[in-house]
Structure 1
Amino acid sequence: MSQTPSRRLGAIVLFVASLVGFAIALYAYLTPLTGVNGSLGALVVTLACLLLALLALVLAAAKGRGGRVVCRVLILAGLAGTGFAALLLHQWWITVAMIVGLIGLVIDMNRPTASHRHAHS
């Protein structure tokens, strides 16, 4: 049974939110007068957003329950840490992107598993 895009909606939302956070963080890191240009904190947030995007792709491709659980825990920790770091950097839009990513993670957690799909078929 192939996966439809709607079943991967949470991972897609998380991926897009991570890319938006990456773009904002990269802009803040590279642009003078943002208050954080060239800072280590902005660089770390930029890299964390890239890592979250990669984890979103892994989550979308994960087949086993254990892999999805581990990936979700890592994503949750990454979203919380990146959102908090963005708050400390006064980069509110990155925090908003991480909240949208959290919504994507919740959507992904509510998708039916293979055992539920077969039981209801």
Structure 2
Amino acid sequence: MSHSHSSKLSAIVLLAASLAGIAIALYAYLIPLTGVTGSLGALVAIFACVALAIMAFLLAVPKSRVAAISLRVVILVGLIGTFFVGLLLHQWWISVAMVVGLTGLILDMTHTSRQTRPTDS
């Protein structure tokens, strides 16, 4: 699998997880009787998932090595923070979506490290 194809696949997984997180957080924020309707925490989860979706698009764009590593670190911090927000809000599906996003990020990082590793021939 080529680097660009794998990078796009991992970005798609991260984007899908972010969009699922947006949908779940919007549901929790807007629908009555979710326990967090209109709360600041649900609003933070919405904005965090939107930021993760934007960063998923940036992950698929070719960039320098330093920029790619920096972006991955910011995405990792965003995923961990949003996972924690989902737990605090008792919105377990947001946390599940962030675990799926983490899977996409790990796919991206492992494929990149495989590309840069020297061959043993």
Give the structure-1-normalised TM-score: 0.88
Distance 1:35 1:28 in 2: 8
Tell me which residue corresponds to 1:104: 104
Return the letter of the residue paired with 1:108: D
Q: SS where residue 63 of structure 2 aligns? A: coil
- CA shift, 1:62, in A, is 3.5
Distance 1:41 1:99 in 2: 19
Q: SS where residue 111 of structure 1 aligns? A: helix
Is structure 2 residue 64 aligned with structure 1 residue 44? no
Number of equivalent positions? 118
The 1:112–1:79 alpha-carbon spacing in structure 2 relative to 1, beyond 3 Å, is: closer
Gaps of 5+ in 2: none
Distance 1:48 1:112 in 2: 25
Distance 1:20 1:63 in 2: 27
CA RMSD of aligned residues (A): 2.1
Q: SS where residue 69 of structure 1 aligns? A: helix
Gaps of 5+ in 1: none
Distance 1:84 1:109 in 2: 22
Distance 1:112 1:34 in 2: 40
Tell me which residue corresponds to 2:76: 76
Give the structure-2-normalised TM-score: 0.88
* 1:4-59 superposed Cα distances (whole Å, 9 cap, x missing partner): 53342111101110010011001110000000010000000001000000011111
